Structure 1
């Protein structure tokens, strides 16, 4: 018998995208699915759209709740899920007709606890295939810990793709592992990369992982997403998450395999943060934006991390920006970031 798959969709102010998202799930070639729409206190028409679909389709459930963020919305969905397997689709994204079938097929053929795939990344008006670099591999217990988890921590060698995405939207999971071990999402308002932590908790309890070449998840480039908007406290959140992650990999006994990758991801964000200060200077004021860059360069955690991180594998531009941060060249960082942003436009 075909196992039931629960598809959890957190919804928050995405009325212009939501119908395409829901229709793409309803059009799956794999039919034994339930759809759980979690309206996270939307202020637009999203909640009404959810109710409309729930009234029309018996396999759609709706949860209306007070706004608490993406992670908490997913947890609400997990509590209502009945499927043997579970996956997630964000309300502003959509999936191909074979997305569920391909991932579930991968899990069933190999008896895997989770099957990961790739995705389609929006660049301008088109979507570009991002195949999981580990596609075709089936990974067992010891290698999950020492091979897979480190590659989820980040990129080591910038001359090639040697890391994998950690989004829960690109995978199907056995729900019993989640339920039996009370695995829940952290709030992204507390720990900024809730997907990674969920995967870390889940993989630590998994015996077999398989990777599909499927790229059926269409990830929209939403300008209002958390990764796109200006966040004045982003550095503090990134430091908190990085410290948490370092503690976790130490507890798992894989610190040496992970630490350079963790710092690689951290400094990707540090560079992104100082660039955004130049990009959004009209929002904060010129003097304030330069002061913010200075605060980043003088942050004790940033300074300590730079002493440990081996950035010899970075591209020239990234290595230069690391060097300027290390040498505290605040004004030069601002000027170069501003010029680069203007050139992109």
Structure 2
């Protein structure tokens, strides 16, 4: 392991005066000392900028940048471009680190491109002084495991049983990010979905560790997860389109890209069915058109388990139908009940 490498902690900040002090304090309290914290004010209209500048004036490891409101992707990209560390770490400004988060991740590094800890969702009270743990985001069942990733094992595992596709709480080797010129796609929500796909597609060695290192706040009512609509679905569609455009014809990546694009379809079709009352007819028409334009038949490679192979091929076929039909027959994997088997049969034979 590299001895005490510099870790660049990138924190985008937008209208988070209620939460940012607790976030930055959790960085300052790290038992690992060789870090820099890059705080980027993304056009906040509240007291965020003054608060983060007050930390900069007291702590020389903190650097503050400010800009017009360009969104989360552009803000994180600015952080990448200004990072001096051998490692990158993304921290959302309403979340909190465990005191040993960075030391735990760095000490676990063994020539990996990415190291990931456990993220726990939590609710905070009493002016952020009390925290209630709620649940953990999806993590490998083994707890600690290293994927050599020569056959895209992380993405296959995600399609099989789910791994949470987030950018934060991962220690990225900066050389890996620079080598592949990886950046977040600007102008969309759910940018983490595409970032997760591209980083896990290109990483040669990915490690997950069985240690809680990050607390994800669920009580921020301004979070995009609390306010959904057309823009969410449009962003999901763009993620699918980007994967198809960039990777479906690539000699090395075409098979995994085709299958993973259906995984993305599964996510946003589930969203569209669940949130239909909040979506306009215009975005539903856009959805139907994009699904037809991005349709690629899935080949016969033994990429997934039998049930998931059947499921993804079924959802891919279903995606060619009008949304009213999709809404009627969509179901979540796995195929583990008579009702779901009947739906597979209907999609495969009656809805040709």
Q: Quickly say closer, same or farther: Cα 1:105–1:257, change in 2 above 3 A.
A: farther
> Once the two structures are superposed, what CA deviation does each residue of 1:253-293 show, in whole Å capped at 9, x if it has no partner?
2145434423221212212331545xxxxxxxxxxx6x579
Pick the structure with more helix per residue. Answer: 1
Q: Quickly say closer, same or farther: Cα 1:304–1:123, change in 2 above 3 A.
A: farther
Aligned to 1:173: 172
Match of 2:14 among 8, 12, 15: 12
**Mapping of 1:73-222 within 5 angstroms?**
73-107=75-109, 110-122=110-122, 126-130=132-136, 132-134=139-141, 135-143=143-151, 145=152, 147-152=153-158, 155-156=159-160, 162-187=161-186, 189-190=187-188, 192-221=189-218, 222=220
Name the CA distance, whole Å, in 2 between partners of 1:307 and 1:178.
29
Q: Quickly say closer, same or farther: Cα 1:98–1:296, change in 2 above 3 A.
A: farther
Aligned to 2:226: 228
Determine helix, strand or coil for the equivalent of 1:120. Answer: strand
Name the CA distance, whole Å, in 1 between partners of 2:326 and 2:65.
51
Determine helix, strand or coil for the equivalent of 1:116. Answer: strand
Name the CA distance, whole Å, in 1 between partners of 2:231 and 2:37.
35
TM-score normalised over the length of structure 2: 0.74
Q: Are 1:27 and 2:29 matched, yes or no? A: yes
Number of matched residues?
296
Name the CA distance, whole Å, in 2 between partners of 1:4 and 1:103.
12
Q: What is the root-mean-square deviation in Å for CA atoms of aligned residues?
A: 3.2
Shift of 1:24: 0.5
Shift of 1:228: 2.1
Structure 1, 50-59 or 71-80: larger mean CA deviation: 71-80
Name the CA distance, whole Å, in 2 between partners of 1:257 and 1:307.
9
Shift of 1:238: 2.3
Shift of 1:323: 11
Q: Any stretches of 5+ residues in structure 2 without a counterpart?
A: 126-131, 299-307, 313-320, 329-352
TM-score normalised over the length of structure 1: 0.75
Aligned to 2:305: none
Structure 1, 15-24 or 122-131: larger mean CA deviation: 122-131
Q: Contact (CA 8 Å) 1:150, 1:261: kept in 2 or not?
A: no
Q: Quickly say closer, same or farther: Cα 1:258–1:57, change in 2 above 3 A.
A: same
Aligned to 1:342: none
Q: Contact (CA 8 Å) 1:113, 1:208: kept in 2 or not?
A: yes
Aligned to 1:242: 240
Q: Quickly say closer, same or farther: Cα 1:215–1:306, change in 2 above 3 A.
A: farther
Q: Quickly say closer, same or farther: Cα 1:231–1:129, change in 2 above 3 A.
A: closer
Aligned to 2:288: 299
Shift of 1:326: 1.3
The structure 1 segments of at least 4 consecutive aligned residues displaced by more than 6 Å after TM superposition are: 303-314
Q: Contact (CA 8 Å) 2:44, 2:69: kept in 1 or not?
A: yes
**Mapping of 1:28-43 within 5 angstroms?**
28-43=30-45
Shift of 1:305: 8.6
Q: Contact (CA 8 Å) 1:129, 1:215: kept in 2 or not?
A: no
